[in-house]
Amino acid sequence: MAKETTHFGYQQVSAADKVHKVAAVFDSVANRYDLMNDLMSFGVHRLWKRFAIDLTGVKQGDRVLDLAGGTGDLTSRLARLVGPQGLALLTDINAAMLNEGRKRLVDEGIVGSVGYVQADAEQLPFADNTFDGITIAFGLRNVTYKDRALRAMHRALKPGGRVVILEFSHPVVSGLQPVYDLYSFTVLPLLGKLVARDAASYRYLAESIRMHPDQDTLKGMLEQAGFERCEYFNMTGGIVAAHRGYKF
């Protein structure tokens, strides 16, 4: 029987190998991840994330799940919103990234309303109807079976809950694509080499963005997973998009 294959950037690899290859990328960049985000986006990623948080509608006492939460950017904000009576759960499949997130939140003094779980987005270890909101920022494109992850999110949400997906997407402004391509395939690997000492991981980043579903395709995938009232919001000319869907 032929092995099932999938993409890792522009490469075709076995589905079983992709998890290990993605893990190696984030093991390599974990301790420079936040610095590289600031450099690569000129700090604009903070505005993208703030907008995504606003879309969640999270309030005091809510239970929220931050999937592929990495170094805790969204979890930090969510924990403040849910307050001491709520819970913001930081999860990541990668132990190195999860440890960076835990260290960051402890340094920020966020201890009472936050928890940590190493978890695979495709196989969430939570009961049905557990969370008021679920976020995943710049993580979905690394998931091998995105449809499974979306169904798992839908299952774990309470009725009335919403999912917010923040991800690199496809430019919609005329003339932006060639400039974006030039930046992605020249500047990003160079920054990776100079700052994170890893050009290959940032070349994968650029490739993985190109392989990710476009805005309308991802909206359709959300609907197929059971979400309703699905919509998306383009930012920075469509370089990034925030998708939102509800469970009823």
Q: Kindly write down the DSSP assignment for every residue of 78-135, as one continuous string.
A: HHHHH-TTSEEEEEES-HHHHHHHHHHHHHTT--SSEEEEE--TTS--S-TT-EEEEE
**3-class DSSP assignment, residue 162:** strand
Within-domain flag for 23: no
Backbone angles phi, psi at 134, to 5 degrees: -135, 135
Within-domain flag for 101: yes
What's the pTM value of the predicted model, to 2 decimals?
0.91
- Please state the domain count of the chain: 1
Q: Round to whole Å and give the CA distance between 222 and 170.
A: 17
Domain of 235, CATH number, reads: 3.40.50.150
Within-domain flag for 92: yes
Within-domain flag for 11: no
CA 194 to chain centre: 24
**Dihedral of CA 18/6/210/77: which sign?**
negative
Tell me the pLDDT of the chain (248 aa) as tens digits. Answer: 456 888 878 888 888 788 777 877 777 777 777 888 888 898 999 999 999 999 999 999 999 999 999 999 999 999 999 999 999 999 999 999 999 999 999 999 998 899 999 999 999 999 999 999 999 999 999 999 999 999 999 999 999 999 999 999 999 999 999 999 999 999 988 988 988 888 888 899 899 999 999 999 999 999 999 999 999 999 999 999 999 999 99
**3-class DSSP assignment, residue 74:** helix
Name the DSSP class of 9: T
Within-domain flag for 190: no
Q: Which residues form the domain of 53?
A: 29-173+203-246
Within-domain flag for 185: no
Within-domain flag for 188: no
Within-domain flag for 105: yes
